[in-house]
A and B are shown apart, each in its own frame.
Chain A
Amino acid sequence: MSGTKTAWTKKDLLGLYELSQEEIELILDTADSFKEISTREIKKVPALRGKTVVNLFYEPSTRTRVSFEVAAKRLSADVINIAAQESSVKKGETIIDTGTNIQALKADTIVIRHNSSGAAALLARHVNISVVNAGDGWHEHPTQALLDIFTLREKLGKIKGLHVVIVGDISHSRVARSNIWGLTKLGAKVTVCAPPMLIPEDIEKTGAQVSYDIDEALKNADAVNVLRMQFERDLKGAFPNQHEYFKKFGITRERLEKLKKGIIVMHPGPLNRGIEISSEVADGANSVILEQVTNGIAVRMAVLFLVSQGKEKS
């Protein structure tokens, strides 16, 4: 508890770009308090009893959806999961129609995952109930970044003054973008590192620095966030092959041993062992990957709780 004075006023959580430093800290402090609940024998509090949370997922996702579902249930909310692939979306219903229909069911919060950037914001403008962005296109994935930052803060005590390296496909990564906004707002230095084809042109405008050499980037880093490389979809032409990538950018024990100080290794999952990270590192002492999963529940509980109290439209 750091004596947070800000009150939460927003009905939605769409991204970290539009949040103030104080609002981000309020979420983190609230998550701190919620973490203890998952260690109890009875892992449930009645804060959202009688509320309904709808997980509306237009993209396949297991870990984010399950994390939101667990978080909502630990707050005693009722949870409904809609996988859009098998819903009336297939019959041509628009996202706005789907949203207003969910609102007409008297649900209280929609958690949305969509492959188009801006989908969550569009939905939030057209409904009066709360909308939480669980990842929209290449735009933002705020709760993932919040849980990364929460984990870092828990491990190192603070964010201000830290140097965090994000390595991987920055161009197509909403996780990277949300992390950059959140970390820089809290006073950390962020370096993105990838082959040139995978770094967007105007990335420096976000306040992040760019490096094409992972060993150089890691030199003074406190933490490295390793993004999943999706060779199966959007990397054709950006990089020759997985083995080459692993050699040049993969996070391995040999790389970490060259560093002067210990470094925290994060990964949003699911892991591609031997492509962006070696098994030794993923399962090693530097890794906080499973703690991120645990912390994700506390962070999502905090977000669901706070938006349920907010009234203000974005």
Chain B
Amino acid sequence: MKEKAKILDKAGIDRSLVRIAHEIIESNKGTKDICIIGIRTRGAFLAERLTACIEKIDNTKVPVGILDITLYRDDLSLIAEQPVVRQTQIDFDISDKKIILVDDVLYTGRTVRAAIDALMDFGRPKEIQLAVLVDRGHRELPIRADFAGKNIPTSKNEIIEVHLQEEDKVDEVVIVERD
């Protein structure tokens, strides 16, 4: 696998998150009833960052949680290497809340489908909106992002890798190509 291009650097990721934070506040007319929930692993870190951005802009602290969707995947019996199940941490009631679901990359839409199913088992949110750092196309389900850091048309042969300081010691988004 070889790296083809860097799409976002640290400054680019920061700017995208600040913009998404502004857009969330704008389209929801404030932060009332907003809760942020990130999909493990990298969506969870982005959710934390997004929450900090919103706090800076609006001076309010919105609840933030982490969702592990492993048990809701539709390919559990198909994948060769079985994923490690990690904890879901949502310490607030999501009923009647506006949930901003956060992930790093939006691709087929299957992860988001799983996340929506998982959230519905926690209660009945008023709304679920989707924020992603990168939308790379190739949807297999009728799902779209409400907020996207960057739209990147890709071929299926390419892989988008989001690296974040918290997990990968560096902030960047790169395209790599399968050999």
Chain A interface size band reads 20 to 34
Interface of chain B, main secondary structure: loop
- A42 and B121 contact, Cβ closer than 8 Å, known pairs A33-B68, A47-B71, A47-B76: yes
The answer, among B71, B72, B81, B87, for a CB contact under 8 Å with A32, is B87
Would A40 and B121 count as touching, CB distance under 8 A? Answer: yes
- A45 and B122 contact, Cβ closer than 8 Å, known pairs A30-B85, A33-B86, A34-B85: no
Number of B residues near A (Cβ < 8 Å) is: 18
B129 within 8 A of A: no
How many A-B pairs have beta carbons closer than 8 Å: the answer is 47
Complex: A45 Cα to B70 Cα, angstroms: 10
Would A7 and B122 count as touching, CB distance under 8 A? Answer: no
Would B71 and A41 count as touching, CB distance under 8 A? Answer: no
Complex: A188 Cα to B117 Cα, angstroms: 41
Bitwise, B111-140 to A at CB < 8 A (1) or not (0) is 000000110011100000000000000000
Q: Tell me which residues from 50 to 90 in chain B have a Cβ below 8 Å from any Cβ of chain A.
A: 68, 70-72, 76, 81-82, 84-89
A172 within 8 A of B: no
Would A30 and B117 count as touching, CB distance under 8 A? Answer: no
Would A42 and B122 count as touching, CB distance under 8 A? Answer: yes
List chain B residues, Cβ under 8 A from A75. 71
Q: Which residues of B contact A (CB under 8 A)?
A: 68, 70-72, 76, 81-82, 84-89, 117-118, 121-123
- Supply 14 further A-B pairs (C-beta < 8 A) apart from A1-B87, A41-B122, A47-B72: A1-B86, A7-B81, A8-B82, A32-B87, A33-B68, A33-B85, A33-B86, A33-B88, A36-B87, A36-B89, A44-B121, A45-B118, A47-B76, A302-B85
27 pairs, A vs B, C-beta closer than 8 Å: A1-B84, A1-B87, A4-B84, A30-B84, A32-B87, A33-B68, A33-B87, A33-B88, A34-B85, A36-B87, A36-B88, A36-B89, A37-B88, A40-B121, A40-B122, A42-B121, A42-B122, A45-B71, A45-B72, A46-B71, A46-B72, A46-B117, A47-B72, A47-B76, A302-B85, A305-B85, A306-B82
Instruction: For the complex of A and B, list the 4 residue pairs with the smallest distance between their C-beta atoms, beginning with the closest.
Output: A47-B71, A45-B71, A309-B82, A33-B85
